[in-house]
């Protein structure tokens, strides 16, 4: 016997209606990222007893004086052995108004690609610095990456304030140094918070040790930062992912174009154009499962029906006749290189952009970006592991793309090594 009993309401039902904030940690090794996430989870009461007991007993058996909260997210055996984060850990918690998806990323330079993985989908970047050390090359590199990835909100958490006597002077100095560096980056929203991840100051609870600080606690900021405005609701972009053709008697003539809205709003009656063919049509209806919906907007996954029997397949894009990306085979992009073998001119790779896959050749490496000085080094003709540079590509198929600054979905691509099949580069289109 199977069943789903229901009652009409419950006081916790609001959970399904909350909004979502994705954030990623960043910063050098040992700046306290994992400890901070452990602290956030603990103080927001999101840790279960068996989880806390497990890290308490591990901390004891390792002979630590305190419970190592980093063990809550450092889940791999080698991470616990080495006391560092190797790969992103995803953790979840919710307050009454918001659900949070946290990507706790590694600080070690060797694992930068994993940091980029965690940051690529983030709405907010949380950069930690050790108050004793101030900005390091790695904190700068991560700030540059966050700004290139267009993570719209940034928090600089100055950590380990307990080890610098809660000095306002130290706080001000790092604050100033970072703000100066940040003027050269694209950071629309910055908050600088003095904390102690270990002791919990200004994380969830306001600290008595920093009477000179009047800004929000980290948690307060995370709960209130406004993320809704970060989406593009103007430029309609619908990459076709899958064509649904049931081939059944009941749905004989059904032909739906399935995909996730990447930009703008789609509704019945809209004039559209199918790219790259340029064939015009009109939207007959938009469906989500067995329901017709009035409008579809990012990031909804829907099925679109057109009025005309035009040829549409995976990799095509539906846009508006007067507002459509121009198909292009010459791509100018910032590339973050993620494998040991350097990227070189004339190199050939597979490229995946929205639902399109093709091949690409490197035509030119224009410059390599020095993450410390933001200097553009035009003499190097290669990009090494974890380096970032401006690259010109020629693709075998036209890409239907926008500048990354306009749309994170239609402006991004990945590069894949054709022999190993591994993802080796992340690209953000310029323009």
Question: Residues 227, 243: contact at Cβ < 8 Å?
Answer: no
> Judged by CB under 8 A, does residue 49 bind another protein?
yes
> Residue 76 Cβ, how far from another protein at the closest point, in Å?
5
Could you give the C-alpha distances from 240 to 196, 243, 309, 313, in angstroms and in order? 47, 8, 15, 7
Span between the terminal Cα atoms of the chain, in Å = 59
**What are the residues binding Mg ion (CB under 5 A)?**
33-34, 85
Residue 247 binds to another protein (criterion: CB under 8 A) = yes
The Cα–Cα gap between 316 and 314 comes to 6
CB distance 263 to 235 below 8 Å = yes
Distance (Å, whole) CA 351 – CA 416: 6
Q: Which does 2 bind (CB under 5 to 8 A by kind): another protein, Mg ion, ligand GTP, none?
A: another protein
Query: Distances from the Cα of 35 to the Cαs of 59, 89, 104, 131, in angstroms?
Result: 13, 13, 10, 15
163 binds, among another protein, ligand GTP, Mg ion, none (CB under 5 to 8 A by kind): ligand GTP
Cα angle at 42 between 77 and 62, to 5 degrees? 40
Q: Residue 29 binds which one of Mg ion, another protein, ligand GTP, none, with CB within 5 to 8 A depending on kind?
A: ligand GTP
* Contact between 337 and 387 (Cβ < 8 Å): yes
Nearer to another protein, 179 or 420 (CB): 420
| C-alpha to C-alpha distance for 413 and 316, rounded to whole angstroms | 16
> Measured from the CB atom, is 72 or 266 closer to ligand GTP?
72
Considering the complex, what minimum distance in angstroms separates the CB of residue 120 from Mg ion? Answer: 18
- Minimum distance of Mg ion from residue 81's CB (angstroms): 14
> Distance between CA atoms of 97 and 81, rounded to whole angstroms?
37
Interface mask (CB under 6 A) for ligand GTP, residues 185-224, using x and -? Answer: -----------xxx--------------------------
**Residue 207 main-chain phi, psi, to 5 deg:** -90, 140
Per-residue x/- track, 97-126, ligand GTP (CB under 6 A): ---------xxx------------------
Nearer to another protein, 92 or 212 (CB): 92
Q: Of 66 and 250, which CB lies nearer to another protein in the complex structure?
A: 250
Piece of the chain touching ligand GTP by CB under 6 A; list 25-33, 181-189, 243-251, 381-389: 25-33
- List residues binding ligand GTP (CB under 6 A): 27, 29-35, 68, 70, 84-85, 106-108, 159-160, 162-163, 196-198
């Amino acid at each position: 016997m199977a069943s789903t009993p229901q009652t009409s309401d419950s006081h916790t039902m609001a959970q399904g209606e909350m909004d979502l904030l994705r954030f990623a940690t960043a910063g050098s090794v040992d700046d306290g990222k994992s400890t901070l996430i452990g602290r956030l989870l603990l103080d927001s009461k999101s840790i279960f007893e068996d989880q806390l007991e497990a890290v308490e007993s591990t901390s004891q058996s390792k002979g630590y004086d305190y419970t190592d909260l980093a063990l809550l997210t450092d889940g791999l055996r080698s991470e616990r052995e080495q006391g560092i984060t190797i790969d992103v850990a995803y953790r979840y918690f919710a307050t009454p108004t918001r659900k949070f998806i946290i990507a706790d990323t590694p600080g070690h330079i060797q694992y930068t690609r994993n940091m980029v993985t965690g940051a690529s989908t983030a709405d907010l970047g949380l950069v930690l610095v050790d108050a004793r050390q101030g900005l390091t090359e790695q904190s700068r590199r991560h700030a540059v990456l966050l700004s290139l990835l267009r993570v719209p909100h940034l928090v600089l958490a100055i950590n380990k304030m307990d080890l610098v006597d809660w000095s306002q002077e130290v706080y001000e100095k790092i604050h100033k140094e970072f703000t100066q560096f940040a003027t050269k980056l694209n950071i629309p929203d910055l908050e600088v918070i003095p904390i102690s991840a270990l002791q919990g100051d200004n994380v969830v609870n306001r600290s008595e040790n920093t009477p000179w600080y009047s800004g929000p606690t980290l948690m307060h900021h995370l709960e209130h930062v406004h993320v809704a405005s970060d989406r593009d609701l103007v430029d309609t972009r619908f990459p076709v992912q899958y064509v649904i053709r049931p081939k059944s008697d009941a749905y004989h003539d059904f032909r739906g174009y399935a995909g996730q809205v990447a930009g703008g709003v789609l509704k019945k009656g809209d004039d559209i154009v199918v790219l790259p063919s340029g064939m015009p049509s009109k939207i007959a209806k938009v469906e989500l499962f067995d329901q017709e919906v009035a409008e579809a907007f990012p990031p909804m996954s829907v099925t679109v029906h057109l009025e005309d029997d035009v040829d549409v397949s995976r990799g095509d894009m539906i846009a508006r006749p007067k507002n459509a990306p121009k198909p292009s085979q010459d791509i100018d992009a910032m590339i973050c290189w993620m494998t040991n073998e350097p990227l070189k001119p004339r190199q050939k790779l597979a490229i995946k952009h929205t639902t399109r896959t093709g091949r690409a050749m490197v035509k030119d490496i224009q410059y390599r970006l020095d993450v410390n000085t933001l200097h553009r080094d035009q003499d190097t003709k290669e990009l090494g592991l974890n380096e970032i540079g401006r690259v010109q590509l020629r693709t075998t198929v036209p890409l239907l793309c926008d500048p990354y600054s306009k749309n994170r979905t239609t402006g991004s691509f990945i590069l894949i090594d054709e022999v190993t099949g591994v993802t080796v580069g992340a690209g953000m289109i310029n323009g």
